[in-house]
Structure 1
Amino acid sequence: MEQLKRMAIFATVVERGSMVAAAEVLGMTASAVSQQIRKLEQSTQVSLLHRTTRKLTLTEAGAGFYQSSAQVMALAQEAEQRLAEMRDAAVGELRIAVPVGFSGRHLSDALSPLLQAHKGLSVQLFFQDERIDLVEKRIDLAIRVGPQQDSSLVARHIGDAVFILCAAPSYLLTQPQITRPENLLDVTWLLLSTTQMHESLKLLGPNGQTENIRIEGRVACNNLLAVRNFTLAGMGVSLQPRHEITDELASGQLREVLPGWQMPPLGIYIVTPRRDVQPAKVRYAVEALRRHLLAN
């Protein structure tokens, strides 16, 4: 790195025509500039400049070395400019990890105006209910549901999801009537395996009661839509986000089990890796998602 610094000083001396002029630009003293040039010549074991009392001229080797130094400085300035553009403008690829249940219009409605406003921005979406390592997979931001315990991430709460117990009418016809939480001990459970709810389920009653029910799943999936499909097929009871199954409830494909009893609401969060400065594409996306999801 010291050699690169000396190359930059050397290129500035050549471009400015003197040690004094270069020193003014670099915020150094002329003697410090001269010392860096000497160290550069010592390390390369080549004379780069002819020094006289009136002016500096390049040696043959110095002329060739200046061309290489100037190219290195130009590449460095270009890289710095690109970083500044990414910091200040929404450009490049935005990588977002999202639960499968968010694959409907909510996400596209939030991101479409962002993409239309920033033509240099592209989006790659990763739909999965399992939590992935944001840093390892180079994920810029994620939408997550439930408690956030990873201190290496920044989590912004944007709302809550209400999960309800539901089943298909065909399944309910095969079961005794479910009127109390303890009746749930005898049902067939269909579980989302990523939620770690294989042992107990906390339910809140209509009058503030609390019941903890031990459960064991016959079918466990790492994908909420797969759990929903098993539920629609009449295979058992599952927990589903109310806002995602409004059509199924309205059409009678699913029925709410034990109305009035439900899980405590689960927080919805926008999560990003902890960084000192977020690129503009991430800042714009966080605001677009936050604004849209809060409004719905």
Structure 2
Amino acid sequence: MTESADVRFLLTIQQNGSLIAAARKLGLTPSAVSQRLQQLEKKLGTRLVDRTARKLTFTEEGTLLCLRGSELVQQFDTLLEDLQVLHGGLVGPLKVNAPLGFGRRYVASAVAEFQRENPAVDVALTLSDEPLTETADRFDVVVHIGELRASNLVGHAIAPNGRFLCASPAFVKRFGSPDAPDDLARLPCIILRENKEDVSLWHFSKGKTSRSVRVASKLSCNDGDVIRRWACEGRGIILRSEWDVADDIRRGSLVRLLPGWKAPDANVIALTHNRAGLPRRTRDFMQYLQARFRPVPPWRT
């Protein structure tokens, strides 16, 4: 039977995509990694990875070993961590991914304070404009805002968050205020590019009535803070998360448009792997993050 170290070794190759990248991650030479892989295959009596000059392809046996082995390794790590917790607190690595703007404003401080309270936990925070990518499974927690499409990750509610249609008072004075969603098609709008979505098709509802409108945009960006500042400067209309524009609306830098029409909510959730077997540090961080936004998130106070 293979040992947990062998499974971890194979998982490192899978996660890094090449023997060279795995060697860099493990602090070994590529030849040492290749030799160890050959020894593992010899011990198991089966080929785990088909290797060519251009790519690695896991065999059916290698894929099965990674799939089932990762579950066993996680359960083993959780058991060890629970034992260590009994003797003095949380330990181990915690990898967190969050959107750029929300991550800077809210997640970064939560991560830093959680680590200060749990000094034996090593937290690595990654901010991304596309947190839901094929690399999401490399993180323990992925903070996501908005609708969750098909995923093998488990969602945990963090905070409610609406989406507001906004523009500056100067823009409204110049172009007027739309009376219905269809009016947006003739007005300058600013687009936020995120998660490879159809971001120029905006959806609204009022009671049982729904409207979708394709907006025209001469300005777009993948950073929500940039489009918010552009809107404050009067450059166009934005459809933006409540957490990002609530302060500007209170200050009068932005005004809500079409308040009678509701855009789909973009609630804040955190994604983890299977609920069962999560390390204690991951579970505690999830609860810590949830507590920071309850009973009312800061953008609604």
Give the TM-score of the pair, scaled to structure 1. 0.64
Measure, in 2, the Cα distance between the counterparts of 1:290 and 1:176.
40
TM alignment of 1:144-155, pairs within 5 A: 144-155=144-155
What does residue 266 of structure 2 align with? Answer: 266
- The corresponding residue for 1:204 is 205
SS of 1:126 mapped into structure 2: strand
Asked if the contact 2:78/2:277 (under 8 Å) is kept, the reply is no
For 1:159 and 1:137, how far apart are their aligned partners in 2?
22
Partner of 1:169: 169
Residue of structure 1 equivalent to 2:120 = 120
The 3-state SS of whatever aligns with 2:267 is strand
Aligned length: 219
Output one character per residue of 1:44-94: Cα deviation in whole Å (capped at 9) or x when no partner.
xxxxxxxxxxxxxxxxxxxxxxxxxxxxxxxxxxxx899713775422332
- Which letter does structure 1 place at the counterpart of 2:192? L
Partner of 1:13: none
Shift of 1:181: 2.2
Q: Quickly say closer, same or farther: Cα 1:141–1:127, change in 2 above 3 A.
A: same
What is the rounded CA distance, in whole Å, between the counterparts of 2:234 and 2:198 in structure 1? 21
Whole-angstrom distance in 2 between the partners of 1:87 and 1:152: 28
Q: Tell me the residue number matched to 2:194.
A: 194
Q: 1:85 aligns with which of 66, 81, 88?
A: 81
Letter in 2 for 1:165: L
Cα distance in 2 between the residues matched to 1:119 and 1:154: 27
Q: Within 5 A, what are the aligned runs for 1:54-69?
A: none
In 2: Cα distance, 1:180 partner to 1:218 partner:
21
Whole-Å Cα distance in 2 between the matches of residues 117 and 102 of structure 1?
22
- 1:256 matched residue in structure 2: 256
**In 1, distance between residues paired with 2:132 and 2:248?**
30
List runs of 5+ in structure 1 lacking aligned partners.
4-79
State the Cα deviation string for residues 97-122 of structure 1 (Å, max 9, x = none): 11223245543564455323311113
Structure-2 residue corresponding to 1:143? 143
The alpha-carbon distance between structure 1 residues 133 and 203, as it changes in their structure 2 partners (threshold 3 A), is closer
Counterpart in the other structure of 1:184: 184
The sequence identity of aligned pairs, in percent, is: 22
**Structure 2: gaps (5+ residues):** 4-75
- Provide the rounded CA distance (Å) in 1 between the counterparts of 2:155 and 2:77: 30
Quote how far apart the aligned CAs of 1:174 are: 2.3
| 8 Å Cα contact 1:87-1:279 kept in structure 2 | no
CA distance in 2: counterparts of 1:187 and 1:125, whole angstroms: 38
2:145 alignment partner AA: V
How big is the shift at 1:151?
3.2
Q: 1:136 to 1:272 in 2, by over 3 A?
A: closer
Could you tell me how far apart the structure 1 residues matched to 2:100 and 2:258 are? Answer: 26
Q: Distance in 2 between matches of 1:93 and 1:164?
A: 37
> Secondary structure of 2:290's partner?
helix
3-state DSSP class of the match of 2:138? Answer: coil
Partner of 1:281: 281
**Greater displacement, 138-147 / 208-217:** 208-217
Residue 192 of structure 2 contacts residue 223 of structure 2 at CA under 8 Å; is this kept in 1? yes
Q: Is the 8 A contact 1:88 1:279 kept in 2?
A: no
Q: Is 1:156 the counterpart of 2:152 in the alignment?
A: no
RMSD (Å), alpha carbons:
3.0
The aligned amino acid for 1:255 is V
Contact 1:91/1:281 (8 A) holds in 2: yes
Query: In 2, are the aligned partners of 1:143 and 1:268 still within 8 Å (CA)?
Result: yes
Counterparts of 2:130 and 2:83, CA distance in 1: 30
**Partner SS state of residue 271, structure 2:** strand
Q: 2:168 touches 2:253 (CA, 8 Å); kept in 1?
A: yes
C-alpha displacement of 1:162: 0.4
